[in-house]
Structure 1
Amino acid sequence: MRLEICLPLALLFLINGVPSDAQSESSVSAADATPEVVLDDDWFRPRGADSDFYREPLYYDVKGLLQLNCTAPGHKLTGYKWSKNGTKLSAVRELNAPAARYQLLDDGGVLRLEHAHEDDYGNYSCLLVAAGWRRDWDVRGRPVARLPPDSNVVEGQKIKIQCRIIGKPYPRVTWLYKNASSEEGNGTSLEGDARFALEDSEAGVRGGALVLLAARRGDQGRYECMPAAGDGVAAATTLRVKDMYAALWPFLGICAEVFVLCGIILVYEKRRTKPELDDSDTDNHDQKKS
């Protein structure tokens, strides 16, 4: 009786157990053959997802080194494809004229640009073909402001100070003013000051042209142009406002010199011609006597 009960149970155990072991062995073998590569979601994103999305801006120094790293820490990956603004690097003119200026290192996972140009800014993408993942960078040149060291204007006249920016895309700039007699503080913002107008510069920098319609003597001081983004480098110029009659005094001085010189010449000529006339009269008198 016990044998009849145990035999079906043993057969049931064998039927369920053997396929289960075989399935687990095949699963382990498959895992060993093609190990899963888990990429950090903050590092890569799926290909085709949010194609207009880019990470925080990455700033580089113009004429400095620009390097983008697409390798995944702890993984050996191959098959990288790089592009700029949707165009493969080999077809981007500014990167290949007259010769290729970029290098692909570490099996193509690192893009390196030495002495990067101002026009090397843009949206760079790295595509992992086999994994179907990509990484993107919003690359921008670090903005560096440039101003002439000194600016001069005559009182009552108009002056326009142009702030030049190196590093594209050009950010908006802000202006600060510091009185010539003040030695403390960072300066006063010129935003909203009715006496000043902020215009786009000739190069297209937003707010890059500071316009003062009628300069006053009190407008003398230090003017600073500061890029509003990218941890930029500011520049400053010292404005000097000259007296409106300052240009008249040299002219009057020249006129006075001319008048004095003319007077000296007239006096000299008058004294020189008088003896000649006296000699002429004496000669005439002698001739009449003879």
Structure 2
Amino acid sequence: MELLYFAIGLLFISNGAPANAQIDTDEGEPYLVYYDINRNLTLNCSMLSADTTLSYVWKKNDVSLEQVTELKGRYKLEEGGAVFTLTARANEEDYGNYTCALGADDRSWQVHGRPVVRLPDNTNVVEGQKIKLQCKVVGKPYPQVSWYYNASEEVNVSEPLVEGSRGGRVHLEASEQGVDGAALVLDAAARGDAGLYWCRAGAASDHTQLRVKDMYAALWPFLGICAEVFVLCAIILVYEKRRTKPELDDSDTDNHDQ
């Protein structure tokens, strides 16, 4: 009988728990919230309090919202100050630690920009030259950047590109944005380096198609032009010689008659 009551109790608890309830893994830890760049950002801090004289106090990185320069004129507090909403589109600098307090109760969020990465569609390099691929990352704080290589779109196996890979010719540097590892340098590009180069940051990724041209590719058109000029000059020379010879013959005949 006790086992029956225990089973009924478990069934009641499992059915009574709301499906969309938010569960904190660590009590007191801030919620991790991701927002999309150029989209809206809303934080809800609704808390019940018997004291109606209390007001919500919002801060970003321990600074009152009214004193945060990048937020001036870009946000509003609704529902009695319980809901924070950006009236302008969110940008990279809107990331940070947000806190809300009502009396002794408080709530906090770690707000991160959802990362987006960009690479050019195609990249060309001449065999033997150095190439530097810049992975542009949008979304702060910047996540760790990793690189991968595929020989072609049909090949599903990716080769991780780390410092010193590909015979020591791969080097990872900080990009122009200052993101560590977001710039991949490939020394002395070889024909076998052609393929897809992937840049990944968090769940975001993008790729560029690297084409390695023959080091003599620019020489062949020049040689072709030289050959055309040589043939043209030879044709002109032969034509002039043939045209000059009859004139000389006519001149000799005229002198003999005289």
Using the size of structure 1 for normalisation, the TM-score is 0.69
Alignment of 1:148-227 (within 5 A): 148-180=120-152, 182-185=154-157, 187-192=158-163, 193=165, 194-227=168-201
- % identical aligned pairs: 53
Aligned pairs, number: 231
Alignment of 1:208-247 (within 5 A): 208-227=182-201, 229=202, 232-247=203-218
Structure 2 SS opposite 1:94: helix
- The 1:180–1:284 alpha-carbon spacing in structure 2 relative to 1, beyond 3 Å, is same
Structure 2 SS opposite 1:203: coil
- The 1:284–1:204 alpha-carbon spacing in structure 2 relative to 1, beyond 3 Å, is same
User: What's the CA shift for 1:166?
Assistant: 1.0
> Residue deviations 1:10-62, cap 9 Å, x none?
xxxxxxxxxxxxxxxxxxxxxxxxxxxxxxxx69x9xxxxxxx8625321110
Letter in 2 for 1:80: Y
> Residue deviations 1:154-202, cap 9 Å, x none?
22221111100011122220111111275333x1211352331111111
Q: What's the counterpart of residue 20 of structure 1?
A: none
Report runs of 4+ in structure 1 exceeding 6 Å deviation: 73-77
8 Å contact kept, 1:171–1:206: no
2:42 to 64, 67, 72: 67
Distance 1:109 1:234 in 2: 36
Q: What's the counterpart of residue 140 of structure 1?
A: 112
Distance 1:61 1:266 in 2: 72
8 Å contact kept, 1:57–1:140: yes
User: What's the CA shift for 1:277?
Assistant: 5.4
Structure 2 SS opposite 1:160: strand
- Is structure 2 residue 107 aligned with structure 1 residue 107? no
User: What's the CA shift for 1:282?
Assistant: 7.0
8 Å contact kept, 2:31–2:108: no
Q: What's the counterpart of residue 32 of structure 2?
A: 57
Q: What's the counterpart of residue 56 of structure 2?
A: 80
Distance 1:116 1:283 in 2: 98
Using the size of structure 2 for normalisation, the TM-score is 0.77
Q: What's the counterpart of residue 233 of structure 2?
A: 262
Q: What's the counterpart of residue 15 of structure 2?
A: none
User: What's the CA shift for 1:75?
Assistant: 7.9
- The 1:246–1:79 alpha-carbon spacing in structure 2 relative to 1, beyond 3 Å, is same
Distance 1:261 1:54 in 2: 82
> Residue deviations 1:46-98, cap 9 Å, x none?
xxxxxxx86253211101121111112798975112222233223322222xx
Q: What's the counterpart of residue 95 of structure 1?
A: 71
Structure 1 SS opposite 2:204: coil
- The 1:283–1:191 alpha-carbon spacing in structure 2 relative to 1, beyond 3 Å, is same
- The 1:224–1:181 alpha-carbon spacing in structure 2 relative to 1, beyond 3 Å, is closer
What's the RMSD between the two structures over aligned residues? 3.1
> Residue deviations 1:196-242, cap 9 Å, x none?
11111111111101111122222121111010x4xx31001111112
Distance 2:139 2:120 in 1: 18
Distance 1:282 1:161 in 2: 75
Q: What's the counterpart of residue 95 of structure 2?
A: 121
Structure 2 SS opposite 1:175: strand
8 Å contact kept, 1:124–1:138: yes
Distance 2:145 2:161 in 1: 11
Distance 1:272 1:57 in 2: 90
8 Å contact kept, 1:54–1:138: no
- The 1:271–1:126 alpha-carbon spacing in structure 2 relative to 1, beyond 3 Å, is farther
- The 1:275–1:216 alpha-carbon spacing in structure 2 relative to 1, beyond 3 Å, is same
User: Which structure has the bigger radius of gyration?
Assistant: 1
Structure 2 SS opposite 1:234: strand
1:253 to 224, 239, 244: 224
Gap regions ≥5 residues in structure 2: 1-23
Distance 2:112 2:227 in 1: 60
Distance 1:176 1:154 in 2: 21
Distance 1:170 1:283 in 2: 94
